[in-house]
Amino acid sequence: MFEPKITETVQNIVKEYIKDGDSVIDATVGNGFDTVFLAESVGENGTVYGFDIQSIAINLTKEKLNENKLNERVVLIEDSHEYVNKYVNDNIKVAMFNLGYLPKGDKNVITKPDSTIKAIEKILDLLESGGLISIIAYYGHKGGMEEKDSVSKFLRELDSNKYDIISIKYENRVKNAPIIYLVRKK
């Protein structure tokens, strides 16, 4: 469950919420590791909607999915996740956000507080009862702390009658170690 890599820890948690045939969202496709994981988890009858604003991320992930013969269950969308309603009408079981910049990519292209919060808000409406949103906030980069603080404030103000929200953080790591937020719809 608790792995050396934070992304694997989150995948282990998320996996428990997904069953065959579910519709899920990868809100920040990046190098496609979570997209492939989600595609494997939903099975051949499920659907993954993957968003990224960078064509390099979309193309890289397309290749990964083709190599793994998972492309038919994934809809890749080169657009900002804040426009999720333009592309997704299904009830969503899980959505994953991995904030920050594309590893090994352009460090100036980062997720931003406004669009991240709009996307979370819209996905909360699409989320099934019992569904989960995971968010990993990296905030060592310029603009990261501001985004983490905005996301944290937004989540703290959500109605506790509708959502259970927890965070997981490292207690013994250097400052700016990533933090995990988990939002479960009641």
Residues that bind ligand SAM (CB under 6 A): 28, 30-34, 51-54, 57, 80-81, 98, 100, 102, 109, 111, 115
Pick 94 or 102: Cβ nearer ligand SAM: 102
Neighbours of 102 (CB within 10 A): 20
Q: Give dist(CA 104, CA 95) in Å, integer.
A: 23
Pick 130 or 140: Cβ nearer ligand SAM: 140
* 180: nearest Cα among 11, 46, 19: 11
Minimum Å distance from CB 129 to ligand SAM? 26
Pick 41 or 111: Cβ nearer ligand SAM: 111
Minimum Å distance from CB 90 to ligand SAM? 18
Minimum Å distance from CB 83 to ligand SAM? 8
| Chain residue whose CB lies nearest ligand SAM | 30
Minimum Å distance from CB 19 to ligand SAM? 22
Q: Give dist(CA 100, CA 135) in Å, integer.
A: 11
| In contact, 170 and 137? CB cutoff 8 Å | no
Q: Give dist(CA 35, CA 29) in Å, integer.
A: 6
